[in-house]
Amino acid sequence: MTASASVPARLIPSPEPGWPQWRGPRRDGICDETGLLPEWPASGPKLLWKTGGLGRGYSAPIVTHGRIYLTGDVGDELHIFALDLEGRVVWRAKNGAAWRTPYPGARAISTYSEGRLYHENAHGRLACFDATTGAELWAVDLFDRFGGKNLTWAMSECLVVDGPRVIVTPGGSSGHRAMNAA
């Protein structure tokens, strides 16, 4: 047995507070919050606020640094929304075209790391945004860059950010190349 084989695999948590990526800090769906109700009242939890106009989609929100980030297809475009903890839109940014068929709507959620928000749309456009302002910092078409093509159901990848690296699985003839996040 090699030395690397004797070390058990473990999840490495994001250093960001809250729920900064798909399925939480460790991507395992486990919430470490304390003081939660052991069971909900029959009428359900108290509604604190609600908002609308955030488009169509299937992606979940992330919550970190006092913001809620989520995606939705609005008209012909995919939008990323940053809301405050009262549900008010702080900013919105575009990340390419909306997905029309089959099953129209935004797919993948965003990932937060070191003040930046990363998102891949259904058409393979990967973009990085300033998490405070929503300004686009850079973008790349993964299909062009790695020689791939879209799937029947579209791209729906919840990105992993590891320091200066964004981990994606674009497929294609040169999908093995590394890409730095900076």
Order the strands of the 125-130 sheet from edge to edge.
Answer: 111-113, 116-120, 125-130, 136-141
Q: Residue 35: which residues within 8 A CB-CB, separation 6 or more?
A: none
pLDDT in tens, 68-82: 999 999 999 999 999
The closest alpha carbon to 182, from 119, 118, 121, belongs to 118
The one-letter code for the residue type at 63 is: V
Q: What pLDDT score does 105 carry?
A: 96
- For residue 142, the 8-state DSSP code is H
Instruction: Report whether 118 contacts 159 (CB < 8 A).
Output: yes
Q: Which domains does the chain have, with CATH numbers?
A: 51-182 (2.130.10.10)
Task: Judge whether residue 161 has pLDDT over 90.
Answer: yes
Q: Which helix (H) or strand (E) holds 122?
A: none
pLDDT in tens, 109-143: 999 999 999 999 999 999 999 999 999 999 999 99
